[in-house]
Amino acid sequence: MVGYVMVIYDYDIPEYEIRHMMVDRSMQGRGLGTAALNRVMDCIRTKPFGDSGRVALTCSRDNAAAKRLYKRRGFRATGTEDEDEIEPAMTIP
């Protein structure tokens, strides 16, 4: 397995959440994370579970590569933090 990603829809908020997006360390640096995030966002844009435009995720505050990837794709820090995790989010039309 190279990696995986899970997407949920939180009906209480409502928002889409990208959880556990991971690429095996030996496969990083090959564009796989970017490709995976692009596919996930393409799916979320169809709003398959609900009509929310908010997409959030969490990542380790020490994971510079992940933070760069999310920032390039339009995610911005929300200020929400939990232990060593930060929450970037974005709004899509």
**Cα-flanking dihedrals φ and ψ of residue 61, to 5°?**
-65, -20
State residue 51's pLDDT score.
95
**Domain at 20, CATH number:** 3.40.630.30
**Cα-flanking dihedrals φ and ψ of residue 30, to 5°?**
-115, 10
Range of the domain at 45: 3-91
Among 78, 57, 54, which residue's Cα sits nearest to residue 5?
57
**Cα-flanking dihedrals φ and ψ of residue 39, to 5°?**
-65, -45
Q: What total of structural domains would you count in the chain?
A: 1
Instruction: For residue 38, give both structure tokens.
Output: 């692009």
pLDDT tens for the chain, 93 residues long, are 899 999 999 999 999 999 999 999 999 999 999 999 999 999 999 999 999 999 999 999 999 999 999 999 999 999 999 999 999 999 999
Is 62:69 a contact under the CB 8 Å cutoff?
Answer: no
